[in-house]
């Protein structure tokens, strides 16, 4: 198995573990963030809305789901999968998201693949965003769209960290 295959297997396993743990109610929520930090919460809501502005809602949901998978955020993954379905996303595309690079041709567009690659490198910031991944995204998104996409990526990463830290329970949106 290659390193990439090992990473994907680990991510799929982690996503399943997070979902099982959340469904079992193993860890109760720690605090109600919206109630205890209302100014920050309202600012995050406004930032999230501003980040999405002008981008395809289905693309935003894919990016948010993938980022939430990488960060192990069951709450956000649950919420964005439901939102994606409401927006017309198919089960096939949702199920294949953890292994999107290996998905058959035609499942995800080149534009979506560029966005997902960028989201993954922003989320795994340790090595930075490579020139190749950035150039790929820049080839599919106008400069203003690219700025919005980067904003969606850092916003969902922040939401993931808030919800993981506070143990926000899936299904309580």
Using one digit for the tens of pLDDT, what is the confidence trace for 131-162? 999 999 999 999 999 999 999 999 999 999 99
Output DSSP code: residue 122: H
**Which pLDDT score, from 0 to 100, does residue 28 have?**
78
Q: How confident is the model at residue 18 (pLDDT cuts 50, 70, 90)?
A: very low
What string of DSSP letters covers 84-103? HHHTT--HHHHHHGGGGGGS
pLDDT > 70 fraction of the chain, expressed in percent and rounded = 84
Q: How confident is the model at residue 2 (pLDDT cuts 50, 70, 90)?
A: very low
Tell me what the pLDDT averaged over the chain comes to: 88
Quote the pTM value.
Answer: 0.83
Q: How confident is the model at residue 24 (pLDDT cuts 50, 70, 90)?
A: low
Task: Give the helix ranges, DSSP H, for the chain.
Answer: 3-24, 33-36, 38-52, 57-71, 74-86, 91-96, 110-123, 131-140, 143-165
**By the 8 A CB rule, do 40 and 47 touch?**
no
Longest Cα–Cα distance of the chain, Å, equals 47
């Amino acid at each position: 198995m290659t390193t990439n295959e090992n990473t994907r297997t680990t991510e799929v396993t982690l996503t399943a573990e997070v979902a099982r743990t959340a469904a079992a109610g193993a860890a109760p929520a720690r605090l109600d963030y919206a109630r205890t930090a209302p100014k920050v919460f309202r600012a995050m809501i406004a930032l999230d809305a501003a980040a999405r502005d002008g981008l395809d809602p289905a693309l935003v949901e894919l990016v948010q789901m993938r980022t939430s998978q990488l960060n192990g955020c069951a709450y956000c993954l649950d919420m964005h999968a439901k939102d994606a379905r409401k927006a017309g996303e198919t089960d096939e595309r949702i199920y294949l998201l953890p292994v999107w690079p290996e998905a058959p041709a035609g499942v995800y567009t080149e534009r979506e693949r560029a966005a997902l690659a960028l989201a993954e490198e922003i989320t795994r910031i340790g090595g930075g965003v490579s020139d190749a991944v950035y150039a790929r995204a820049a080839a599919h998104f106008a400069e203003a769209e690219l700025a919005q996409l980067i904003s969606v990526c850092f916003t969902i990463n922040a939401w993931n960290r808030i919800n993981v830290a506070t143990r926000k329970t899936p299904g309580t949106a």
